[in-house]
Amino acid sequence: MTTPQDIRTIGFIGAGNMPRSIIGGMVRGGYPADRIWASNPSTPKLEQLENDFGIHTTQDNHALVAACDVIILSVKPQLMKEVCADLKTNSPAISDKLVASIAAGLRFAKYYDYLGENTRVVRIMPNTPSLVGEGVSGLCADRKVTTADRDFISQVFDYVGLSIWLENEDEVDVLGAVAGSGPAYFFEFMHGLQQAAEALGFDPERARAMVQQTALGAAKMATDSDLSLIDLRKQVTSKGGSTAKGIEEYQSAALDAISDRAVRAAVARNQEMAKLF
Ligand SMILES: NC(=O)c1ccc[n+]([C@@H]2O[C@H](COP(=O)([O-])OP(=O)(O)OC[C@H]3O[C@@H](n4cnc5c(N)ncnc54)[C@H](OP(=O)(O)O)[C@@H]3O)[C@@H](O)[C@H]2O)c1
């Protein structure tokens, strides 16, 4: 538990899985629960949040805006226009608050369109490992957002992993393609290793256990080390040994080029999807 440096009243509009993880991380990390709000149309998720974390909840988005300094928009992208239009009309004070959104794909221009040109907006791209406190959140602020606002938002998303500031919206698309989609790429690769072990006689349970612990150990070594990823790889690849033979197979299939194509394809799709909303 750490002492939060900046305490503001923060409210999440939409109380789904991602806000639940962020709220859980904040409360466990020492952020005062009575300075956190969540709003949602139906009550079961609100009741759970209240019971588990002791935060304030409401079914009224306007009550939340009135109570909070920082609003995190956490509804599905397709609902954002309707939710923001209602806030702009019935809670005009929102234009003086710091607004952040975790919705995938929606660009700054849309928020200005929905909430007014003067709104201070931060776009946030969290990824699913935030659910287990090991997320990566890409943060991108518009020019009206102050240094103190940025520090506050970093503090919030550091509770569920690593937060990285992004220079512009193109970088949001790239972070989405690497860190947002990345867990799926790692699962695909891990599944391939599991299948290879099974093809050579391992039962699925032991094959999976061996693969997932290897992934965890490799990620931890990479996190703890100052060496480059290539140097770490070389450290476990003796010349003429069995790992070298395996690596030769990956290199002959141009794994680097596959990763490059995969990320570019995902960036292109992020750009296409941004036009849908
Ligand atoms: N989950 C992830 O890993 C992830 C990663 C990156 C970004 N995101 C973004 O996070 C946002 C939320 O995702 P999620 O996974 O938390 O979705 P979710 O579980 O479907 O939650 C959305 C919540 O919004 C509520 N809602 C609907 N209409 C509302 C309104 N008018 N006012 C207030 N709340 C309303 C829904 O309530 P009811 O259930 O009562 O309808 C639901 O609880 C999305 O924009 C998504 O793009 C999610």
Contact 96, 119 (CB under 8 A): no
Distance CA 35, CA 116 (A): 26
- Taking the CA of residue 42 as reference, the ligand 1 atom at the shortest distance is 40
CA-nearest residue for atom 20, ligand 1, is 16
> Which is the CATH superfamily of the domain at 10-167?
NAD(P)-binding Rossmann-like Domain (3.40.50.720)
pLDDT for 181: 96
Taking the centre of ligand 1 as the mean of its atom positions, its distance from the CA of residue 104, in whole angstroms, is 11
Distance CA 152, CA 145 (A): 11
Taking the centre of ligand 1 as the mean of its atom positions, its distance from the CA of residue 21, in whole angstroms, is 12
Q: Which protein residues touch ligand 1 with a CB less than 6 Å away?
A: 13-19, 39-42, 45, 61, 74-77, 79, 83, 102-104, 126, 128
Q: Dig out the tokens for 48 from the structure.
A: 């759970």
Distance CA 256, CA 246 (A): 15
CA-nearest residue for atom 24, ligand 1, is 14
DSSP secondary structure letter of residue 248 = H
Taking the centre of ligand 1 as the mean of its atom positions, its distance from the CA of residue 77, in whole angstroms, is 8
DSSP secondary structure letter of residue 143 = T
3-state SS record for 185-200: HHHHHHHHHHHHHHHC
Q: Which residues neighbour 137 within 8 Å (Cβ) at sequence distance 6 or greater?
A: 124, 125, 126, 127, 130, 157, 160, 161, 162, 163, 164
Q: Dig out the tokens for 143 from the structure.
A: 């020019």
- Taking the CA of residue 104 as reference, the ligand 1 atom at the shortest distance is 47
CA dist list (Å): 31 to 45, 55, 96, 132, 152:
20, 11, 23, 18, 12
What is the tens place of the pLDDT at every residue in 160-179?
Answer: 999 999 999 999 999 999 99
- List the domain boundaries for the chain: 10-167, 182-274
Taking the centre of ligand 1 as the mean of its atom positions, its distance from the CA of residue 121, in whole angstroms, is 18
Sheet containing 10-13, strands listed edge to edge, beginning at the edge strand earlier in sequence: 56-58, 36-39, 10-13, 70-73, 98-101, 120-125, 135-141, 161-165
Identify each DSSP E strand in the chain by its residue range.
Answer: 10-13, 36-39, 56-58, 70-73, 98-101, 120-125, 135-141, 161-165
Question: Does the domain at residues 182-274 carry the CATH identifier 3.30.200.20?
Answer: no
Regions of the chain short of the pLDDT cut 50: none
- The DSSP secondary structure of 203-214, one letter per residue, reads -HHHHHHHHHHH
What is the tens place of the pLDDT at every residue in 118-129?
Answer: 999 999 999 999
- Taking the CA of residue 20 as reference, the ligand 1 atom at the shortest distance is 16
Pick from 29, 30, 18: nearest CA to 38: 18
- Taking the CA of residue 101 as reference, the ligand 1 atom at the shortest distance is 45
Taking the centre of ligand 1 as the mean of its atom positions, its distance from the CA of residue 109, in whole angstroms, is 21
CATH topology match: 10-167 vs 182-274: no
What is the tens place of the pLDDT at every residue in 123-153?
Answer: 999 999 999 999 999 999 999 999 999 999 9
- Region of residue 7 (phi > 0: left; psi between -120 and 50: alpha; otherwise: beta): beta
pLDDT for 1: 64
Q: At 187, which amino acid appears?
A: F
